[in-house]
Amino acid sequence: MLVFTRTILLISASLLCSVVKGESVIAVLGPEAGEAQRQAYFEQILLSSLTLAGGKFSSARIIHVLHSEATRGGMIRLIKNGTIDVYWTATSHEREHELLPVRIPLMRGLLGYRVSIVHRDFAEQVKQPGVSLRDLTACQVRFWPDTTILLSNQFNVASVNDFHKNFELIHKKRCDFFPRAIFEGQADLSMAQATYPELRLFDDVLLYSPYPLYFFTAKENRQLNKEISKGLELMVSSGELQKRLENSAMTQHLFPLSQWQSRRIIKLDNPLLPSKTPLYDKRLWLQLEKN
């Protein structure tokens, strides 16, 4: 169950972007334990986009909601029944069918780049002649999209239900590498090394698949969606979204991006990627490899 410091337990399903004491409020899920930096990044972008749009929600404030259904398909229900107004998550066919996306990648595509958490012996193993990551076994959470992407690209995957179980499997060498988003790897390693000090971060080889993370609203909430989209377009055009990435405590260690240009990048197809993904709009995406 998720635990949040600020909570509102009941919000009428008939109210989207409610007005409390004359001011607009936008309900979002509050942060999970240890996710304060991530939450702050997305909330700040959300509020900035609405301010820049200059519309009905330009002075809105955010309220946090506690709900036990905030996993997997539960998030879709929470938006559709009006418990929350906005959610940020990686896109999928189901989410774009059920909800209304703002098709501007909030991480500028960085979510699609994966480093790996490995056993300290892994580096020597992967350096053996003729050995590739596809010859080894990835650890992953069973219901995460990563598992589907890896399997569809002919990777061997040992999947488990519990996120933390992956570190134990690496420790016991029951699988070889645990792919994590490029901005998550170091924090996850620091946490895991408290129990398994022999784990290491492997970033000599990166996995990449196009994997945008969007804001989503209910389909009925078109005005809010329109204002978020307008504001984000302005943030992209002005370079403000890029500056937010460079200055966020969550991602600032990734810059300058030139530090990644010597890495080998294995590109994967993403079978979960909807056809309307704006891959053609180069303004929206960062790339780590040299042109």
What is the C-alpha separation between 142 and 234, in angstroms, rounded? 38
Looking at the structure of the chain, the number of domains it has is 2
Which pLDDT score, from 0 to 100, does residue 34 have?
A: 76
Assign residue 26 the CATH number of its domain: 3.40.190.10
Q: Is the pLDDT of residue 130 over 60?
A: yes
Q: Is the pLDDT of residue 96 over 50?
A: yes
CB 215 within 8 A of CB 86: yes
Q: Is the pLDDT of residue 291 over 70?
A: no
- Of 31-35, 62-66, 200-204, 246-250, where does mean pLDDT reach its minimum? 31-35
Please compute the mean of the pLDDT values over residues 28-48 and round it to a whole number: 91
Which pLDDT score, from 0 to 100, does residue 213 have?
A: 97
- Residue 256 in any domain: the answer is no
Cα angle 176-177-182, degrees, rounded to a multiple of 5: 170
- Residue 190 in any domain: the answer is yes
- Residue 175 in any domain: the answer is yes
Percent of the chain scored above 90 by pLDDT?
79
What is the C-alpha separation between 264 and 220, in angstroms, rounded? 44
Please compute the mean of the pLDDT values over residues 100-115 and round it to a whole number: 98
Mean pLDDT of the chain: 89
Q: Is 116 exposed, middle or buried (0-12, 13-18, 19+ CB in 10 A)?
A: buried
Please compute the mean of the pLDDT values over residues 151-156 and round it to a whole number: 96
pTM here is: 0.87
Same domain, 118 and 200: yes
Cα angle 39-44-47, degrees, rounded to a multiple of 5: 125
Which pLDDT score, from 0 to 100, does residue 22 have?
A: 54
Which pLDDT score, from 0 to 100, does residue 72 have?
A: 52
Q: What is the chain's Cα-based Rg?
A: 20
Same domain, 194 and 162: yes
Which pLDDT score, from 0 to 100, does residue 73 have?
A: 62
Best CA proximity match to 45, nearest among 245, 183, 285: 245
Q: Is the pLDDT of residue 173 over 50?
A: yes
pLDDT tens digits, residue range 221-233?
Answer: 999 999 999 999 9
Q: Is the pLDDT of residue 267 over 60?
A: yes
pLDDT tens digits, residue range 157-167?
Answer: 999 999 999 99
Task: Please name the residue ranges forming H helices in 81-199.
Answer: 93-98, 122-126, 145-152, 165-171, 185-192
Same domain, 150 and 196: yes
Same domain, 24 and 95: yes
Q: Which band of pLDDT confidence, cut at 50, 70 and 90, is reported for residue 67? A: low
Which pLDDT score, from 0 to 100, does residue 70 have?
A: 56
Find the domain containing 170 and state its range: 110-208
Same domain, 173 and 128: yes
- Residue 33 in any domain: the answer is yes
Same domain, 90 and 118: no
Task: Return phi, psi of residue 244, to 5°.
Answer: -65, -40
Q: Which band of pLDDT confidence, cut at 50, 70 and 90, is reported for residue 168? A: very high
Q: Which band of pLDDT confidence, cut at 50, 70 and 90, is reported for residue 16? A: very low
Q: Is the pLDDT of residue 134 over 80?
A: yes
Same domain, 133 and 204: yes
Same domain, 23 and 103: yes
CB 255 within 8 A of CB 77: no
Same domain, 82 and 135: no
- Residue 1 in any domain: the answer is no
- Residue 272 in any domain: the answer is no
